[in-house]
Amino acid sequence: MARPRVFVTRELPGDALKRVAEYYEVEVWKEYTAPPYERLLEEAKRSDALVTLLTDRIDCRLIEESQPRLRIISQYAVGYDNIDVECATKHGVYVTNTPGVLTDATADLTWALILAITRRIVEADRYVRSGEWYRSGTGWHPMMMLGFEVTGKTLGVIGMGRIGRAVARRAKGFNMRIIYYDKRRLPKELEEELGAEYVDLETLLREADIVTLHTPLTKETYHMIGERELSLMKPTAYLINTSRGKVIDTDALVKALKEKKIAGAALDVFEEEPLPPDHPLTKLDNVVLTPHIGSATWQTRTRMADIVAENLIAFAKGEKPPTLVNPEVLNVRPPGFNL
């Protein structure tokens, strides 16, 4: 049988695709921007496998129109809200993601944002570069660039999965009280190990000095943080988001920030990506903005590609892919191409 064809929607770091090429005919989209939907659809129809990013919309139409050929979608991300998984399962299409390897990188970025917003790092950098510090005529002033000290404060983690837990572990170094909310409570031993206390969402919002979001985007988490939730937060509290932009109602957040209902926000993800430069968030001083770089280290992005390769290769060998998102698909169709 001819080798199966995989269409990869962007270039990936490392040599993972070389290994994939031992089993597949690999076609890589070389442009920096995502393939337009119609082009993706066309490629999907003549592919046995796809490697996708969160910027690729894999809806039911695309999955249906690429039947019976398309068998596996290997997502280069931990989140997969861009894929209609239910539809994929129905059609016997395997969906895989890249969990685990990006946990530390994302937790590190979360901490970078927590410290950046509370200690006003980006604002301070602007202060130096713009010459304002120089023009102030003093090298040091007791009231210059005062921020908020996180040591000993309360960290509120919403979504205590792998990433939330890694963020909580780091908080121990700052001697923080850790409270968390998740739709499922952690086992007691894990709570003890993390030193984390389970509370309801309202209590978390009222008590936390730093609220940090680590939920996937689902129907339940869409706009989970809106006007009401923001109004429960302390006026001195900060909101951090490295999960998905749509978990926050951005208009409500902009309003809360403008009206100083909360002290600030640090955001790596947005409802609209890329964020337009004239977006109201860019006009505010009490926010730090980064361009969805939670997993963006050489080490992690390379390991994510390795996992994509492992999934594709396992599938080609007729084995269950190691990080399968929709295990129910095993009942619909066994893994492999020659069936």
Task: Write the interaction track for ligand GLV spanning residues 160-199; mark x where CB under 6 A is met and - where it is not.
Answer: ----------------------------------------
Nearer to ligand GLV by C-beta: 78 or 178?
Answer: 78
* Shortest distance in whole angstroms from residue 188 CB to ligand GLV: 29
| Two tokens, residue 95 | 């969906």
Catalytic residues: 244, 273, 292
Provide the pairing of β-strand 264-267 with 287-289: parallel
Specify whether the CB–CB gap between 217 and 247 falls below 8 A. yes
Is the Cα torsion angle 177, 178, 181, 186 positive or negative in sign?
negative
Binding to ligand GLV (CB under 6 A) within 277-296 occurs at 294-295
Q: Does 128 bind ligand GLV (CB under 6 A)?
A: no
Length of the chain: 339
DSSP H or E segment with residue 312: helix 298-316
Size of site (CB under 6 A) for ligand GLV: 10
* Shortest distance in whole angstroms from residue 339 CB to ligand GLV: 30
Nearer to ligand GLV by C-beta: 264 or 294?
Answer: 294
| Two tokens, residue 242 | 């490295």
Q: Does 140 bind ligand GLV (CB under 6 A)?
A: yes
Nearer to ligand GLV by C-beta: 259 or 285?
Answer: 285
Give SS3 for 75.
strand
Specify whether the CB–CB gap between 78 and 102 falls below 8 A. yes
Rounded-to-integer distance, Cα 127 and Cα 145, Å? 9
* Shortest distance in whole angstroms from residue 294 CB to ligand GLV: 6
Side-chain-side CA neighbours of 159 within 13 Å: the count stands at 23
Rounded-to-integer distance, Cα 249 and Cα 271, Å? 8
Q: Does 264 bind ligand GLV (CB under 6 A)?
A: no
DSSP tag of 161: S
Which of these ranges, 75-83, 177-185, 203-211, 321-329, lies near ligand GLV under the rule CB under 6 A? 75-83
* Shortest distance in whole angstroms from residue 213 CB to ligand GLV: 12
Q: Does 79 bind ligand GLV (CB under 6 A)?
A: yes
Helices (H), 16-65: 16-20, 37-45, 60-65
* Shortest distance in whole angstroms from residue 170 CB to ligand GLV: 19
| Two tokens, residue 300 | 């992690």
Q: Does 58 bind ligand GLV (CB under 6 A)?
A: no
State the residues that interact with ligand GLV by CB under 6 A. Answer: 54, 77-79, 102, 140, 144-145, 294-295
